[in-house]
Structures are given as structure tokens and as C-alpha cells.
A = this chain, B = another copy of it.
Amino acid sequence: MQSSESFGEEQEFRVRKLELSDKSKGFIELLQQLSLCDSVSDKEFEDRFRELSSLGDDHVICVIEDPGSGKIVATGSVFIEKKFLRNCGKVGHIEDVVVDSSARGMNLGKKVIGFLTDHARAIGCYKVILDCSLENRIFYEKCGFKQKEIQMVMYFI
């Protein structure tokens, strides 16, 4: 795996894996900038954290902590889908990428995507995919992605 040190010269803004203590560093508040997320109790957070940790390399959440404020200012996740297709191939699915509104323009999003795609490649995926809004297409193209299909959704609640 590529280490987080290699993602540019801003050594202070390093990408690392989510830790249990990140809940108190604004991780949930950061997710709220992306989508609905009411308060999550410490117990709920810990349970989900341990559930995801048990999946090991098959589900990785990364974060960037602002070394000045100690706040989590960027995050993203990737999980590994195992298929029969493509000779029992694997696909990385990137989800929940968000950069704090106060930390835009510092290439943190690109660092997060680099970390997640490197992980998917290292784990042996033949591709990595994600869904995004039309307005975010250019950002992902700069990260090396190409538009392919359309996303369909059915909400239950």
C-alpha cells in the first residue's frame, strides 16, 4: 500500500484510517455536510466502527485531521465487492466523500480519492466506481475517473 506520506508535500494534512476517537473530532458533523445524519450516540458509533473494522481491508474509511484545530476536515470510504464476474473479480465502491466547507481548495478531496483508489488497486480490484452529481464530474475526471453509466435509486424511507 502507498503510504499517506506520498500524497504531496503538505505533510501536515495526512490521510489515515478512521479511529474510534474521531467521533469527538467532528467526524459526524463533517458527514452532516454531505447528507442527513442526526446525532449518533457513542454506543452506536462504537458498534458500527467495530462492525466495519471486522471487515478489515474490505471496508476502509479514511480521514484527514487538521493538525492545527484537531478537527476531521475530510473523509471518504471504499468497500470491496466480490463478484463471480471477471473471473471472480473484485470492485471497489467509493462512498461518502466530503471535505469540510472551510478546507476547500487544499486538494484534500484529491488526497482522499488517491488513498481510496490506491487501496482498491492494492487489494486487487479490476476497477473502482462511485456515484456523484453532474456538478462533481469534473473533480472526479481530474482524479482519473471517467463517466460511464447512470445511477438509479429507490428510497424506502
Contact flag A81-B83 (CB < 8 Å), given A151-B130, A151-B150, A154-B144: no
* Chain A: interface size category: 35 or more
A34 to B81, CA, bound (A): 17
| Inter-subunit contact B131/A131 (CB<8 Å) | yes
| Copies per assembly | 2
CB pair B156 A129 closer than 8 Å: no
Closest chain B residue to A144, Cβ basis: B154
Query: Which residues of B have CB within 8 Å of A145?
Result: 152-154
**The one of B28, B35, B81 that contacts A79, using a Cβ cutoff of 8 Å:** B81
Q: Which 6 A-B pairs have the closest CB atoms?
A: A145-B152, A149-B151, A131-B149, A148-B153, A140-B152, A127-B155
